[in-house]
C-alpha cells in the first residue's frame, strides 16, 4: 500500500444515521427477485426489463466518466476591468487547518496582493462564532470587502448586514448565499460557473454527479457505499444531494450515511467513525469522503486498517489537494474530482474586482476533472488546478487586470 502514513489517533462513539438507496432483494442463490411477480412469464419479463435498465444506467455512468476524465473546464474570461486601486480586503477562511479552505484563501491573498490591495487572512477555526467575530474585526478595520471561504451566509447573516451598513462588499468563495435558506441574498458576488450559474447548482448537478458516476461505473452498478457527511457546511449538503440523486438511479447501489460536525472533524473523530461504519457494514465496497481533508484527518487511516484486515475498498475524495494526489499515487485514495484551489482563489479576486467596478460576473471557466492512478495525475507535489485547457488562468487574469 506504499509508504506508511502518519495519521491522527482518535477514538469516539456516535449514533449512526443510515440511509439506504435502491436495495434489491436477493434469493439464496443471489438472483434478483422481482417485486410483486404475478406469474412466471411476467416475472421473467420484469427481471429482463430491470436487467436492461440497470445495464443502461451503468453504460451512461461509464460514458459520463469518460467525459469527466476529459475535464469540464471552459474558455477563460477574455476581458474585464483593470485592478481597482487602494482596496483593503479581508479573507475569512472556514479553517486554516484544512487545506480545502487554506489553499484557496492563501491563493486569493496572493492574487489580491498582486492587485496592490492590502490583504488580511483570518482563520475562522471551523466555528460560526469565530466567523462572526472575524467579520466584526473587518468592519472595525474599515475593510472595503470581505471574501468568505466556505462560510455560508446563513451562519453570519447578522454580521453581513452590519458589514453592508458599513459600505463593505461581500464575495462568496465556495460559500452559499442566504437564498439557499430562502432569505434575501447578502453577497455582492460569487464565482460564475457558466452553464450552471451559481456554486450550488454546479456542485449538485455537475461535480457531485461526477463522483456518483465514477462509483457506478467502477462497481458496475453494485456499490455498497459508506458516506461521511457534515451538515454544518452547505457545500457538503449540496454534494450529498447531488451524489445521492445520481446514485438513486443505480438500483444495485446502497448508501449508508454517517453525519459529523466541525468540532468532530477538528477533534480527530473521523477515523473512529469510519471504522465503526466499516464494522457495521462489512460488505461495503466504497468509502466516500465529503472533501479531501476528511481523508487526511482520519478516513484514509481507517480504510488502510480495513484493507490490512482483508477488505478491498474504493476510497473517494474531493478537490484533488496536493497530499491527496500523493495518496492516489500510493494506492490509499482511489480518486479525486478536481476542484481547483489556487484557480478558485484567483477567480474570486477577479470576481471581487468586477464588484468594485460595478461590472457583472462572467464565466470564469472553472470545471472539474476526475483523477485516479491511470488518469490526470498532477505532477509530484502538485494538486489539481485545472486541466490543460485552463493552465493559463494566472497569466490571463494578470493581462485582464493590467498588473
Q: pTM for this structure?
A: 0.84
Using one digit for the tens of pLDDT, what is the confidence trace for 38-69? Answer: 344 444 545 556 666 899 999 999 999 999 99
Q: How far is CA 259 from CA 95, 226, 228, 277, in A?
A: 19, 11, 6, 11
Distance CA 205, CA 101 (A): 22
Q: Give the domain ranges of the chain.
A: 88-197+340-367
Options 3.30.70.20, 3.40.50.2300, 3.30.420.40, 1.10.630.10; CATH of 88-197+340-367:
3.40.50.2300
Distance CA 207, CA 191 (A): 15
Q: Answer yes or no: are the C-beta atoms of 392 and 364 closer than 8 Å.
A: no
Q: How far is CA 117 from CA 224, 355, 403, in A?
A: 49, 15, 12
Per DSSP, the three-state class of 214 is: helix
Distance CA 386, CA 25 (A): 42
Q: Output the pLDDT for position 52.
A: 66
Q: How far is CA 197 from CA 69, 190, 201, 294, 307, in A?
A: 22, 10, 7, 27, 41
Binning the chain into helix, strand and coil, the percentages to the nearest 5 are: 45, 15, 40
Per DSSP, the three-state class of 336 is: strand
User: Which three cell numbers, joined as nine digits, stand for 235?
Assistant: 457545500
Strands, DSSP E only, in 194-268? Answer: 224-230, 254-260
Q: Output the pLDDT for position 292.
A: 95
Q: How far is CA 180 from CA 74, 176, 244, 353, in A?
A: 26, 6, 19, 24
Distance CA 315, CA 328 (A): 9
Q: How far is CA 348 from CA 21, 167, 183, 354, in A?
A: 37, 19, 23, 10
Task: Tell me the helices (H) and strands (E) count for the chain, helix number first.
Answer: 14, 11
Tell me the mean pLDDT per 10 residues along the chain, length 403.
Answer: 36 29 30 34 52 90 98 96 98 91 97 98 96 98 97 96 98 94 95 95 96 98 96 88 97 97 90 98 97 95 97 97 96 96 97 98 97 97 90 96 98
Distance CA 128, CA 187 (A): 17
Distance of CA 21 to the CA centre of its chain: 21
Q: Output the pLDDT for position 156.
A: 97
Strands, DSSP E only, in 279-398? Answer: 286-288, 314-316, 335-336, 371-372
Q: Which residue has the cell 496592490?
A: 116
Q: Output the pLDDT for position 262.
A: 84
Q: Answer yes or no: are the C-beta atoms of 362 and 192 closer than 8 Å.
A: yes
Q: Output the pLDDT for position 65.
A: 98
Spatial CB neighbours of 13, under 8 Å, sequence gap ≥ 6? 272, 276
Per DSSP, the three-state class of 282 is: coil
Q: Of 298, 235, 291, 302, which is closest to residue 264 (Cα–Cα)?
A: 298
Q: Output the pLDDT for position 100.
A: 86
Q: How far is CA 119 from CA 93, 111, 161, 189, 365, in A?
A: 13, 10, 22, 18, 25
User: Which three cell numbers, joined as nine digits, stand for 213?
Assistant: 458516476
How large a percentage of the chain has pLDDT more than 90? 81
Amino acid at each position: 500500500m506504499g509508504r506508511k502514513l502518519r495519521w491522527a489517533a482518535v477514538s469516539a462513539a456516535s449514533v449512526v444515521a443510515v440511509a439506504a438507496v435502491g436495495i434489491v432483494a436477493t434469493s439464496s442463490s443471489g438472483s434478483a427477485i422481482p417485486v410483486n411477480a404475478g406469474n412466471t412469464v411476467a416475472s421473467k419479463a420484469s427481471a429482463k426489463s430491470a436487467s436492461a435498465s440497470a445495464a443502461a444506467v451503468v453504460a451512461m455512468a461509464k460514458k459520463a466518466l469518460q467525459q469527466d476524465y476529459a475535464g469540464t473546464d471552459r474558455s477563460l474570461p477574455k476581458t474585464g476591468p483593470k485592478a481597482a486601486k487602494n482596496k483593503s480586503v479581508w479573507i475569512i477562511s472556514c479553517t486554516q487547518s484544512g487545506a480545502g479552505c487554506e489553499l484557496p484563501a492563501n491563493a486569493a491573498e496572493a492574487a489580491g496582493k498582486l492587485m496592490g490591495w492590502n490583504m488580511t487572512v483570518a482563520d475562522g477555526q471551523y466555528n460560526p462564532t469565530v466567523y462572526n467575530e472575524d467579520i466584526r474585526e473587518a468592519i472595525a478595520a474599515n475593510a472595503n470587502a470581505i471574501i468568505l471561504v466556505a462560510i455560508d451566509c446563513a451562519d453570519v447573516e447578522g454580521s453581513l448586514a452590519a458589514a453592508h451598513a458599513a459600505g463593505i462588499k461581500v464575495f462568496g468563495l465556495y460559500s452559499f448565499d442566504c437564498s439557499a435558506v430562502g432569505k434575501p441574498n447578502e453577497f455582492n458576488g460569487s464565482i460564475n460557473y457558466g452553464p450552471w450559474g451559481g456554486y450550488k447548482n454546479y456542485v449538485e448537478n455537475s461535480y457531485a454527479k461526477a463522483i456518483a458516476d465514477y462509483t457506478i461505473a467502477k462497481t458496475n452498478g453494485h456499490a455498497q457505499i459508506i458516506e461521511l457527511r457534515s451538515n454544518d457546511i452547505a457545500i457538503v449538503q449540496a454534494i450529498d444531494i447531488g451524489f445521492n440523486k445520481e446514485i438513486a438511479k443505480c438500483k444495485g447501489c446502497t448508501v449508508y450515511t454517517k453525519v459529523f460536525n466541525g468540532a468532530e472533524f477538528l477533534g480527530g473523530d473521523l477515523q473512529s467513525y469510519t471504522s465503526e461504519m466499516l464494522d457495521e457494514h462489512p460488505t461495503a465496497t466504497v468509502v466516500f469522503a465529503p472533501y479531501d481533508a476528511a481523508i487526511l484527518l482520519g478516513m484514509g487511516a481507517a480504510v488502510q486498517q480495513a484493507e490490512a484486515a482483508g477488505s478491498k475498498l474504493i476510497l473517494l475524495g474531493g478537490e484533488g489537494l496536493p497530499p491527496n494526489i500523493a495518496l492516489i499515487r500510493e494506492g490509499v485514495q482511489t480518486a479525486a474530482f478536481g476542484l481547483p484551489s489556487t484557480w478558485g482563489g484567483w477567480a474570486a479576486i477577479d470576481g471581487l474586482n468586477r464588484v468594485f467596478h460595478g461590472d457583472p460576473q462572467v464565466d470564469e471557466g472553472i470545471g472539474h476533472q476526475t483523477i485516479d492512478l491511470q488518469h490526470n495525475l498532477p505532477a509530484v507535489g502538485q494538486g489539481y488546478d485545472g486541466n490543460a485547457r485552463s493552465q493559463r488562468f494566472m497569466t490571463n487574469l494578470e493581462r485582464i487586470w493590467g498588473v
